[in-house]
Amino acid sequence: MINENLAGTLVLVLPDAENSPGEKKGQVGVLMYARSETENYVRFPEGGEAFYPAGQVLMLKDKQQVFDDLTKNGSSMPLDDFKAMYKIMLLQDRGTSQALYSALAIANDQPGVQEKVLESIHPVEKQELAKTYGR
């Protein structure tokens, strides 16, 4: 089930989204209504609305996750990716909508960090396997 508390969240339409309505690929918008895995309404600042599957709409990961990734893997990543992740983390720390918009724009421009700082609005839940015992 989609988290209904996401309404109003700034999101990025997947840059390589297939069948993107209105050619809004790679643009930042506001998630207006998270209805289901296949229908999520996004409104764009320059005008227009479109709906996308949840997998094509990305939001920023929690800033603590970004910080943890930087501290663990920062020395082994390319310098440009490190700088981009650091800027994104600082912008997230500001917490304003303009700062979050800028953070999403940086993530869009740096393909090397997208996987590290972005996640789907509908993350795949990990299923716990129940251990069964037989006689």
Query: Residue 9 — very low, low, confident or very high, per pLDDT cuts 50/70/90?
Result: confident
pLDDT in tens, 40-56: 888 998 888 888 888 88
- Specify whether the CB–CB gap between 92 and 99 falls below 8 A: yes
pLDDT in tens, 65-114: 999 999 999 889 999 999 999 999 999 999 899 999 999 999 999 888 98
Q: Please state, as a whole number, how many other Cβ atoms lie within 10 Å of the Cβ of residue 100.
A: 20
Q: Which domains does the chain have, with CATH numbers?
A: 4-58 (2.30.30.40), 60-120 (no CATH)
Q: Please state, as a whole number, how many other Cβ atoms lie within 10 Å of the Cβ of residue 26.
A: 16
Calpha distance 7→42 (Å, rounded): 9
pLDDT in tens, 61-71: 998 999 999 99
Structure tokens at 69: 């990734």
Residue type for position 130:
A
